[in-house]
Structure 1
Amino acid sequence: MIHHISIPAKDPHRVALILAELCQGSVMPFPPLEGAYAVAVKDDYGTLFEVYPIGSEIMPGQGQDEASFCQNAHPYHFTAVHAAISVPVSQDDIEAIAQREGWRTLACNRDGLFDLVEFWVENRLMLELLPPQMAEGYLQTMSPANLERLQTQLATVPMRG
């Protein structure tokens, strides 16, 4: 169970507001890091998105010191980090929000396994959004009862990139 995830954004407040809209959650400041925001999804799992200013990095502490933040002056524009997230809104809602923001979306079928919507935050960070109907397909595909079949099926899928 993933309870929270952090993502970088050029405009953390705007991104937090949009994530809150998609998840029907709420936005609050994230005091450990100036300019960061948290989105509380208001579910039974305590799901939270932390949205940091782009270039923010977390470094391990020394000895008994906790992790701390630093700022990379030359952050990468894209990242391999992404997340598949169930949202309570429809595919049409997702696409309308993305269009309003000028962000890319694409309805996809992942290798015949399940459907999702690629939602490109600020056109640089991909979130795989699963509206209710698509979430059902994802959960069925990834259920413990289907994992052996899934492993066999994935072994035959050609590598991309």
Structure 2
Amino acid sequence: MLFHLSIAAHDPKHVAEVIAEMWRGEAFYFPPVTPGSWIAFAGDDRGTAIEVYPIDTVLREEEGDADSFGERTGESRYTATHAALATPLSREEIMGIARREGWPAKYRKRGGAFGVIELWIEGRQMMEMLTAEMQSEYLAAMTTDNWRAMLKAGEPA
């Protein structure tokens, strides 16, 4: 189960606020890792959150009995990191937010099994937004039994 994840953005405050809006949650300043960071809370019973760091932040291990820290290093445009996020909003509402923000977004059917709205935050960070209907499709499709059956049938891994 996912409690939180972190991403990087050019405008961490704005990105956290938009993610919080899509969850009907709330965004706050989040300085523990590196200054300029923000966090979007879903407002659910699990404390689901996304930490949004300045674009050029990487996490580094600290020696000894100390927490890891964020270090500013230089910019990177794209990342392999993404998440599928549940939203109470409709497809039309998500697409409207994407248009307002100037962020590319389109509906896609992953493997013919479940739909997602492929949303590109700041045109560089992909998030898959799942409406209630898409969440039901996802939960029905993404099971370990279904994955085993697909692999046994010879589908590419």
Fold in common (TM above 0.5)? yes
- Is the counterpart of residue 81 in structure 1 residue 81 in structure 2? yes
- Is the counterpart of residue 36 in structure 1 residue 37 in structure 2? yes
Can you list the C-alpha shifts for 1:38-70, whole angstroms capped at 9, x where unaligned?
111110111011111101111001011221111
- Is the counterpart of residue 108 in structure 1 residue 108 in structure 2? yes
- 1:4 corresponds in structure 2 to 4
Deviation at 1:140, TM superposition (A): 1.2
Deviation at 1:158, TM superposition (A): 4.9
Which one-letter code corresponds to 2:99 in the other structure?
Answer: Q
Deviation at 1:151, TM superposition (A): 2.7
Which one-letter code corresponds to 1:47 in the other structure?
Answer: T
Q: Distance in 2 between matches of 1:11 and 1:114?
A: 31
Q: Distance in 2 between matches of 1:156 and 1:87?
A: 33
Tell me: CA distance 1:158–1:116, structure 2 relative to 1, closer, same or farther (3 Å).
same
- Is the counterpart of residue 56 in structure 1 residue 53 in structure 2? no
What secondary structure, in the 3-state scheme, does the structure 2 residue paired with 1:134 have? helix
- 1:17 corresponds in structure 2 to 17
Q: Distance in 2 between matches of 1:157 and 1:100?
A: 39
Deviation at 1:27, TM superposition (A): 1.0
Question: Is the CA contact (8 Å cut-off) linking 1:24 and 1:41 kept in structure 2?
Answer: yes
Give the fraction of aligned pairs with identical amino acids, expressed as a percent. 37
**RMSD of the alignment, in Å?**
1.4
Gaps in structure 1 of 5+ consecutive residues? none
Can you list the C-alpha shifts for 1:70-96, whole angstroms capped at 9, x where unaligned?
1012x3200111001111101101100
Bigger mean CA deviation after superposition, 18-27 or 150-159? 150-159
Q: Distance in 2 between matches of 1:52 and 1:30?
A: 9
Which one-letter code corresponds to 1:109 in the other structure?
Answer: K
Bigger mean CA deviation after superposition, 1-10 or 148-157? 148-157
Deviation at 1:28, TM superposition (A): 0.8
Can you list the C-alpha shifts for 1:2-60, whole angstroms capped at 9, x where unaligned?
10111100011111111011000111110212111111111011101111110111100
